[in-house]
Amino acid sequence: MTSTAPRGTCPGLSAPMLTGDGLLARFTPSDRIALGSFVAFCTAARRHGNGTVEITARGSLQVRGLTSASAARFAAEIAALEIAAIEGVPVIADPLPDDPNAFVDTAAVATRLRRAIGDARLALAPKVRIIIDGGGRLHLDALAADVRLRAIGTREAPRFYVAVGGTAASAMPLGSIAVDMAVTAVLRVLHVITARGPTTRAVDILEAEGINAFCSVLDGNVETRPRPPPRPAADPIGRHPLRDGFFALGIALPFGHAHADALARLAQAAAAFGVGSLRPAPDRALLLVGVREESAAPLTAAAEQLAFIVHTHDPRRRIVACPGKPACGSGLIAARALAADLARQLSAQGEAVHISGCSKGCAHPTTAALTVVGTERGCGIVRHGSAGATPNYHVEPAKLIREIVRIIETGAAVHA
């Protein structure tokens, strides 16, 4: 018998979450997955679920449509594959292995930190997370975290810049520490969070007590430095050179989901070109690792034939959409179906659109240039706001595409 994840926690293999289309299980690999194991993962997702596989904004795999009986069988099959996975507090490290631009081997630091957190048995809030950014090509600036480390300096003399409570732009800085202090520093910050109660997040402490609550535990180990400069947005799509002369080829799942059969065929195509592994990545992407230069173009074409996103200018990248109705029990509009229809009408450039099945805005909790939110009155239109904001007005789902095109492509203002 499989237990289900309580509200406010993250669904896992052993504790999936009940949604509109059955149970949803989440699985977060901590390293590359051999292509044969990934094909087996997809086969299990189709056999025990409804075949829908998702990659989240943080790079986790999700399988939908499980039942109370099949969820346990699915979990057992995945465990037998022995895919390295993150358990407990999410410690998210760089997704690109062997990145020649990285200053620090964040995988090694993350492994030590996960072990230390497990040994400390801290009673942390379910959604507390840590980011370790090695300063490489696919940085993690856009992801929010309770504690974030960013490698600065040089490969010969790196340090970690420490900040708490937000994205790279919004987190409050603490300063820089030596790399060998990383595990100790993060544990001290986590002890501060734990001391405030089992539901507390770093942002709660910042709001109530300010940054000094964290500065005091790092006294003597922190070097005061200005906040590192912002970096251009990381884009997983395309070729990423590796230290060994090969490439990682990044593709994305349209609106974060694909059928297990399409993913399995992609893995099989990659294997035919001599690729050995892949890895899910933030921004709902998949990195095929170990691609030869002469194989990149035909492998990209194969992925495109399977309807994956392979170009940075694909109009589908302008749209963020949750599953919506009927897959999600809270969904009031068919968000992904509307997103697919809208993408066919949009050009490659322009404002981003967030289509949310309800006011929770799970796929994109922050603001967007244009948000469409499902309500009892239809599709709510929100300009420069989030799904939780009060809509400027409502339109019927049948008229939504024409209205969004009117707003975005013509530059028209929303109706009052």
pLDDT in the model for residue 4: 63
Q: Return the CATH number of 17-86+236-312, one of 3.30.1490.190, 3.90.480.10, 3.40.50.300, 2.60.40.420.
A: 3.90.480.10
Pairing between β-strand 319-321 and β-strand 285-291 as defined by DSSP bridges = unpaired
Residues 224-252, mean pLDDT to the nearest whole number = 94
Q: What is the pLDDT of residues 12-58, one digit of tens each?
A: 888 999 999 999 999 999 999 999 999 999 999 999 999 999 999 99
Q: Above 80 in pLDDT, residue 396?
A: yes
Q: Above 80 in pLDDT, residue 220?
A: no
pLDDT in the model for residue 411: 62
Q: What is the pLDDT of residues 254-264, one digit of tens each?
A: 999 999 999 99
Pairing between β-strand 277-281 and β-strand 33-34 as defined by DSSP bridges = antiparallel
Q: Tell me what the pLDDT averaged over the chain comes to.
A: 93
With contact defined as beta carbons under 8 Å apart, do 166 and 144 qualify? yes
With contact defined as beta carbons under 8 Å apart, do 278 and 286 qualify? yes
pLDDT in the model for residue 350: 81
Domain 96-218 has CATH 3.40.50.1370: no
With contact defined as beta carbons under 8 Å apart, do 413 and 399 qualify? no
With contact defined as beta carbons under 8 Å apart, do 51 and 261 qualify? yes
pLDDT in the model for residue 415: 47
The more confident residue out of 187 and 86 is 187
pLDDT in the model for residue 10: 73
pLDDT in the model for residue 416: 40
* Separation CA 295–CA 251 (nearest Å): 15
Half-sphere exposure of 114 (CA within 13 A, CB side): 19
pTM over 0.85: yes
Sign of CA dihedral 381, 382, 386, 390: negative
Residues 209-213, mean pLDDT to the nearest whole number = 94
Q: Which residues touch 350 (CB under 8 Å, ≥6 apart)?
A: 318, 408, 409
Q: What is the pLDDT of residues 144-187, one digit of tens each?
A: 999 999 999 999 999 999 999 999 999 999 999 999 999 999 99
Q: What is the pLDDT of residues 352-372, one digit of tens each?
A: 899 999 999 999 988 999 999
Give the residue extent of every domain in the chain. Answer: 17-86+236-312, 96-218, 316-410
- Indicate the DSSP class of residue 236: -
Name the band, by pLDDT with cuts 50, 70 and 90, for residue 143: very high
316-410 falls under which CATH superfamily? Answer: Sulfite Reductase Hemoprotein, domain 1 (3.30.413.10)
Indicate if 316-410 has the same CATH topology as 96-218. yes
pLDDT in the model for residue 243: 93
pLDDT in the model for residue 7: 53
Angle at 327 between CA 326 and CA 331, to 5 degrees: 60
Q: What percent of the chain has pLDDT over 70?
A: 96
Name the band, by pLDDT with cuts 50, 70 and 90, for residue 6: low
pLDDT in the model for residue 12: 86
pLDDT in the model for residue 247: 96
